[in-house]
Amino acid sequence: MAADGRQRLTGLKPHLAPDAKLLVLGSFPGVASLQAQQYYGHPRNQLWRLLGDSLSLPLAEADYPSRLRLLLEHKIGLWDVISETQRQGSLDSAIREPRPSDLLALLAGLLELRTIAFNGATAAKIGLRQLGAAADNYRILTLPSSSPAYTLAYAGKLAAWATIADDFDGSSYE
């Protein structure tokens, strides 16, 4: 633990199949997510509702294993742009000494990937820096954070998140 009370934290492993067509990238899991070892594990985080409402999938009402199964079935992956960091609490503004995830190595194995959606400005800033010119190969979306700390009303968040559905046919991210 650092002198300022921040401890070194390790994020979650990527959740995706090799045929993923959409990759949602967050910044780094919050305390509740790390404790539960579940993506977007805080009960007030709106990711599952936003993604579900955008793609007409029953994600919000499903249990965690079912959520993960639905994502795989619909060719949607999850990961974070930071793999390890020091942080006290859950806010992105408290992130110190981040170690970036190896996005380029991950993308090299995702030959069908078409869209990368960043969950929030911090994820986009860090992720786009990592991707560099490789970002030109994908449809890039920077979406409002699903975090409860980001106070944009749900309707505003959903309007932006709904753009991920542009390529979605209802059965899989085609």
Q: Which residue is associated with the tokens 């639905």?
A: 70
- Of 79, 96, 67, nearest to 8 by C-alpha is 96
Gyration radius of the chain over CA positions:
15
Give catalytic status of residue 119 as yes or no: no
Check: CB of residue 10 under 8 Å from CB of residue 86: no
User: What φ, ψ does residue 31 adopt, rounded to 5°?
Assistant: -55, -50
Q: Give dist(CA 33, CA 29) in Å, integer.
A: 6
Q: Give dist(CA 46, CA 145) in Å, integer.
A: 9
Give me the catalytic one of 27, 33, 45, 90: 45
Active-site positions read 45
